[in-house]
């Protein structure tokens, strides 16, 4: 049995901090070595959570896009880009349905699916100003909590880099992703 990936990463970080950094005299080289050490520390904390992060994001995007398509179906859409995007979301959901067992798919599939859904959501946001006022407000009601949670999740993800001045107020990514040993999903049900 070999060492865990986190052991390799923390070993490299320690070598940079304890051997390489002290022997460097150039300030720029010291800064760069420090950045590499910080990145290795970040990777040691997050590497085993990448799949779960993407999996949680997959659930979140499916949830908001599903609700958005239902909401926008109530109106006769006259904006071609918006109609095309709703159609594209429906086609995407045939490839990666909201109730699918995406966790059995390769990571590359999950990542591509998430990127596609992000693009669709960005298009809906861009087209939002052309919606009737009531529909725009209803869309905002869906969007605002989603974006707040997304910001919190992303800040939690990069917390280990040490650049966030309010990092002590942010949960660690593991706390954010899991509850009672299971992945948190948007509807409050753990899987």
The pLDDT averaged over each successive group of 10 residues in the chain (191 residues) is 74 91 92 89 86 93 95 73 91 94 91 97 92 91 94 87 81 86 64 41
SS3 78: coil
Same domain membership, residue 117 and residue 148: yes
Count of domains forming the chain: 2
Same domain, 129 and 170: yes
Are 23 and 97 in the same domain? no
pLDDT at 191: 41
In a domain, 119, yes or no: yes
Query: Looking at the structure, do residues 53 and 34 belong to the same domain, yes or no?
Result: no
In this structure, the answer to whether residues 118 and 170 fall within a common structural domain is: yes
Q: Is residue 56 part of a domain?
A: yes
Q: Is residue 13 part of a domain?
A: yes
The token pair that represents 40 in the structure block: 């290795």
Residues spanned by the domain of 16: 5-48
Same domain, 74 and 146: yes
Is 158 part of any domain?
yes
Distance of CA 6 to the CA centre of its chain: 21
115 is a domain residue? yes
| Reported pTM | 0.82
Within-domain flag for 190: no
pLDDT value for 1: 45
Do 32 and 53 lie in one domain? The reply is no
- Residue ending a domain, among 29, 48, 67, is 48
**Does one domain contain both 34 and 97?**
no
Q: Is 160 left (phi over 0), alpha (psi -120 to 50) or beta?
A: alpha
Are residues 166 and 84 part of one domain?
yes
Answer whether residue 189 is part of any domain.
no
User: Taken in order 105, 156, 117, 77, is the CA torsion positive or negative?
Assistant: positive
Any bridge partners for residue 179, and if so which?
182
- 136 and 65 housed in the same domain: yes
Q: Is the same domain home to 30 and 97?
A: no
Residue 191: partners with Cβ closer than 8 Å, 6 or more residues away: 103, 182, 183, 185
Q: Quick one: 68 and 24 in the same domain?
A: no
Tokens of 49: 């959570």
Residue 55, in any domain of the structure: yes
User: What three-state secondary structure class fits 179?
Assistant: strand
């Amino acid at each position: 049995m070999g060492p865990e990936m986190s052991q390799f990463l923390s070993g490299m970080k320690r070598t940079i901090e304890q051997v390489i950094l002290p022997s460097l005299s150039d300030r720029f080289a010291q800064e760069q070595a420090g950045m590499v050490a910080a990145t290795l520390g970040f990777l040691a904390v997050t590497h085993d959570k990448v799949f779960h992060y993407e999996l949680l994001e997959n659930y979140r995007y499916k949830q908001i896009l599903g609700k958005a398509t239902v909401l926008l179906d109530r109106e006769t859409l006259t904006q071609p880009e918006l109609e095309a995007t709703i159609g594209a979301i429906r086609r995407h959901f045939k490839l990666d349905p909201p109730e699918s067992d995406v966790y059995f798919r390769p990571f590359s599939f999950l990542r591509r699916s998430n990127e596609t859904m992000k693009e669709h959501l960005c298009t809906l946001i861009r087209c939002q100003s052309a919606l009737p006022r009531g529909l725009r407000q209803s869309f905002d009601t869906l969007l605002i909590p989603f974006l707040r949670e997304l910001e919190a999740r992303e800040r939690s993800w990069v917390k280990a880099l040490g650049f966030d001045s309010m990092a002590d107020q942010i949960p660690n990514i593991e706390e954010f992703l899991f509850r009672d040993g299971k992945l948190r999903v948007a509807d409050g049900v753990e899987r």
